[in-house]
């Protein structure tokens, strides 16, 4: 039996605090990036390093309908 992974709270906080550092959506919080942009990264490849992990996490959250988690964190920040 597999146990569900608990998301790292620090990663979730970074997602609601960190702006996109480059590109068309530079300055937009990672949590606010359009789904179409995240889907583009999914097709073409997420960046290496921490930014890639954060973007992939946002994509997975959106894909699984868990945006409410980010909304709650944004209210707390």
Question: What are the residue ranges spanned by the domains of the chain?
Answer: 9-76
Entry field: residues in the chain:
77
Q: Count other Cβ atoms within 10 Å, centred on residue 45.
A: 9
Predicted local confidence at residue 4, as pLDDT: 53
Q: How far is CA 15 from CA 1, 6, 19, 24, in A?
A: 30, 16, 8, 18
Tens of pLDDT, residues 19-72: 999 999 999 999 999 999 999 999 999 999 999 999 999 999 999 999 988 888
Q: Count other Cβ atoms within 10 Å, centred on residue 56.
A: 15
Q: Count other Cβ atoms within 10 Å, centred on residue 11.
A: 13
């Amino acid at each position: 039996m597999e146990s569900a992974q608990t998301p790292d709270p620090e990663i979730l906080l970074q997602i609601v605090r960190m702006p996109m550092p480059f590109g068309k959506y530079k300055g937009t919080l990672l949590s606010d990036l359009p789904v179409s942009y995240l889907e583009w990264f999914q097709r073409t490849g997420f960046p290496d390093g921490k930014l890639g992990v954060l973007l992939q996490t946002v994509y997975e959250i959106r894909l699984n309908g868990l945006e409410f988690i980010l909304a709650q964190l944004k209210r707390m920040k």
